[in-house]
């Protein structure tokens, strides 16, 4: 069964870059069965879709974050990565990596456990 | 962006009750609608996709309906494990967006 695990610093300073990694097990990150997403949830708030990355390497980002986001895949390590530049306190959130398939039509089937990232000096 | 509005924001119910949560989209989304359950400190869990398809492993007391702009999640015969927060999510237009959540509390 597919499992996802996020990792990265829990504290990032304002104006710096947030960098997270998601390790995928139980399936290949290059499989055409899946595509991948990053989402976040600010404390006590709702969920925000950051973007998708497909097995072709193509990406789709939320316009509200597009200018600051990079997503990539490392097939050799079966990992996804997320970089968010020029962070502010508003970027404090639990960040999730996730997977979906065409079967569930854009719903998220598998979630990582999430990692809390706090932006503070 | 497509705005998703859930109602109510809070609902109080008892074990054994039937509960209905509504989600409205700011424009038509066909049946590109999913429902999730989230418990404190945990990632959301997919319950329903395509507005009415039950995700594998989800109890049959959960059901979804609707199309276009109006959708409902119904939970029949509430169990203690069902007290949580529920979100809807549209995947018709990018960026995919979520409702603000409905917290289901024990009466």
Of A26, A10, A28, A33, the closest CA to residue A73 belongs to A28
Distance CA A44, CA A22 (A): 23
Nearest chain A residue to B42 by CA distance is A113
Residues of A in contact with B55 (CB under 8 A): 104, 107, 109
Q: Collapsing DSSP states into helix, strand and coil, what is residue B37?
A: strand
A104/B89 touch (CB, cutoff 8 Å), yes or no: no
For A93, list phi and psi in degrees, rounded to 5. Answer: -170, 165
**Beta-strand relationship, A93-100 and A35-41:** antiparallel
Tokens linked to B23: 């989600």
pLDDT at B2: 97
pLDDT at A78: 95
pLDDT at B92: 95
Q: At A71, is the pLDDT very low, low, confident or very high (cuts 50, 70, 90)? A: very high
Measured between CB atoms, does B94 come within 8 Å of chain A? yes
Residue B81 bridge partners (DSSP): none
pLDDT at A24: 96
CB distance B80 to B62 below 8 Å:
no
Measured between CB atoms, does A81 come within 8 Å of chain B? no
Measured between CB atoms, does B64 come within 8 Å of chain A? no
B34/A104 touch (CB, cutoff 8 Å), yes or no: yes
Q: Collapsing DSSP states into helix, strand and coil, what is residue B43?
A: coil
Statement: residue A55 has pLDDT above 90: no
Q: At A57, is the pLDDT very low, low, confident or very high (cuts 50, 70, 90)? A: confident
Measured between CB atoms, does B29 come within 8 Å of chain A? no
Spatial CB neighbours of B51, under 8 Å, sequence gap ≥ 6: B31, B32, B33, B64, B65, B66, B67, B71
pLDDT at A107: 94
CB distance A79 to A23 below 8 Å:
yes
Statement: residue B20 has pLDDT above 90: yes
**B42-91 pLDDT, tens per residue?**
999 999 999 999 999 999 999 999 999 999 999 999 999 999 999 999 99
Average of per-residue pLDDT across A72-95:
96
Average of per-residue pLDDT across A90-119:
95
pLDDT at A32: 86
CA dist A97 to A16, B46, B65, B68, Å?
21, 14, 28, 29
Measured between CB atoms, does B73 come within 8 Å of chain A? no
**Mean of per-residue pLDDT scores for chain A:** 95
Average of per-residue pLDDT across A4-12:
97
Average of per-residue pLDDT across A39-65:
93
Average of per-residue pLDDT across A60-79:
95
Spatial CB neighbours of B94, under 8 Å, sequence gap ≥ 6: A52, A60, A62
Average of per-residue pLDDT across A14-40:
94
Percent of chain B with pLDDT over 90: 98
Tokens linked to A119: 């932006």
pLDDT at B16: 96
Tokens linked to A108: 């998220």
């Amino acid at each position: 069964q597919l499992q996802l695990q996020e990792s990265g610093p829990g504290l990032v300073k304002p104006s710096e870059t947030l960098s997270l990694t998601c390790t995928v097990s139980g399936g290949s990150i290059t499989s055409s069965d899946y595509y991948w997403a990053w989402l976040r949830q600010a404390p006590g708030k709702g969920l925000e879709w950051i973007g998708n990355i497909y097995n072709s390497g193509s990406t789709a980002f939320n316009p509200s974050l597009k200018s600051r986001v990079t997503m990539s895949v490392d097939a050799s390590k079966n990992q996804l990565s997320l970089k968010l530049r020029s962070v502010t306190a508003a970027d404090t959130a639990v960040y999730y990596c996730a997977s979906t398939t065409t079967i569930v039509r854009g719903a998220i089937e598998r979630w990582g456990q999430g990692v809390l990232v706090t932006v503070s000096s | 962006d497509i705005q998703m509005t859930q109602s109510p924001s809070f609902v109080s119910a008892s074990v054994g009750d039937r509960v209905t949560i509504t989600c409205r989209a700011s424009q038509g989304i066909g049946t590109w609608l999913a429902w999730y359950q989230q418990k404190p400190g945990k990632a959301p869990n997919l319950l329903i996709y395509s507005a009415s398809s039950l995700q594998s492993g989800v109890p049959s007391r959960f059901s979804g309906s609707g199309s276009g702009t109006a959708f409902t999640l119904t939970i029949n015969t509430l169990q203690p494990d069902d007290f949580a927060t529920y979100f809807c999510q549209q995947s018709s237009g990018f960026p995919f967006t979520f409702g603000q959540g409905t917290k289901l509390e024990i009466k």
